[in-house]
């Protein structure tokens, strides 16, 4: 999956932030008197630049999610049997409370804060990609994915410590098929 795939997962992880920013910043003039007049598309768009950018990123995230589902629907290799397993779903909440919630508190009516927001998102994105934290994705949790920290025995008998993302509930001694996201992070499912 490498760098671009990790960036796509990071953008997907920000869906909640984009929705919150849209709700916090959208400006739709409402006037109920009989002498109302439409202000014009240009003025309406100019008033809502930040929400429009967030809508574009929401659409990109949706496209990236479709691409991810398509990639994951391809063939998987039977690779390992789970030897030890630990639930890692708390990672979703950690990402949400550490990165998403504080960013929504910025006053996004000021241009300087909007620039700061996009700079912070770029820095956080670079950190998540470089430190392999892109898997702690709250959007994936909402879509029914789980995170597991496992120790697995491969077909060759060697033991590996990995992080798995799966739609299924995984348990100890289960054989799994996988698709590699990164050197230690895999999308996985139970072998039927």
pLDDT at 74: 66
- Higher confidence at residue 184 or residue 172? 172
**86 bridge partner residues:** 149
Per residue in 104-144, pLDDT tens? Answer: 778 888 888 888 888 988 888 888 888 877 777 788 888 88
pLDDT band (50, 70, 90) for residue 192: low
Q: Report the candidate in 106, 137, 132, 134 with the shortest Cα–Cα distance to residue 119.
A: 106
Rg (alpha carbons) of the chain, rounded to whole number: 21
Distance CA 104, CA 15 (A): 12
Answer yes or no: is pLDDT of 1 > 60: no
Structure tokens at 85: 């397993």
For residues 147 and 133, the answer to whether their CB atoms sit within 8 Å is no
Per residue in 45-95, pLDDT tens? Answer: 888 999 999 999 999 999 998 888 887 776 566 677 788 888 887 776 777
pLDDT at 13: 85
Please state the φ and ψ torsions of residue 8, each to the nearest 5 degrees: -60, -45
Alpha helix ranges (H) inside 101-165: 101-104, 111-130, 138-142
Structural domains counted in the chain: 1
Range of the domain at 90: 2-190
Distance CA 104, CA 101 (A): 6
pTM of the full structure: 0.77
Average pLDDT over residues 3-29: 87
Distance CA 100, CA 97 (A): 6
Q: Helix or strand or coil: residue 26?
A: coil
- Higher confidence at residue 76 or residue 148? 148
* Mean pLDDT over each residue of the chain, to the nearest integer: 83
pLDDT at 78: 64
**How many whole angstroms from its chain centre is CA 130?**
15
């Amino acid at each position: 999956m490498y760098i671009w795939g990790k960036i796509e997962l990071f953008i997907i992880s920000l869906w909640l932030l984009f929705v919150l920013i849209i709700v916090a910043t959208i400006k739709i003039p409402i006037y109920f008197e009989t002498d109302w007049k439409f202000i014009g598309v240009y003025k309406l768009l100019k008033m809502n630049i930040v929400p429009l950018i967030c809508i574009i990123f929401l659409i990109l995230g949706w496209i990236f999610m479709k691409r991810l589902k398509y990639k994951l629907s391809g063939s998987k290799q039977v690779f390992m049997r789970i030897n030890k397993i630990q639930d890692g779903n708390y990672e979703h909440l950690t990402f949400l409370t550490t990165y998403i919630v504080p960013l929504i508190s910025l006053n996004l009516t000021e241009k300087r804060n909007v620039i700061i927001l996009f700079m912070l998102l770029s820095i956080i994105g670079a950190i998540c990609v470089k430190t392999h934290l892109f898997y702690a994705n709250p959007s994936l949790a909402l879509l029914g994915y789980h995170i597991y920290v496992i120790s697995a025995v491969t077909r060759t008998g060697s033991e590996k410590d990995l992080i798995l993302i799966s739609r299924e509930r995984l348990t100890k001694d289960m054989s799994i098929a996988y698709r590699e996201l990164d050197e230690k992070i895999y999308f996985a499912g139970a072998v039927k």
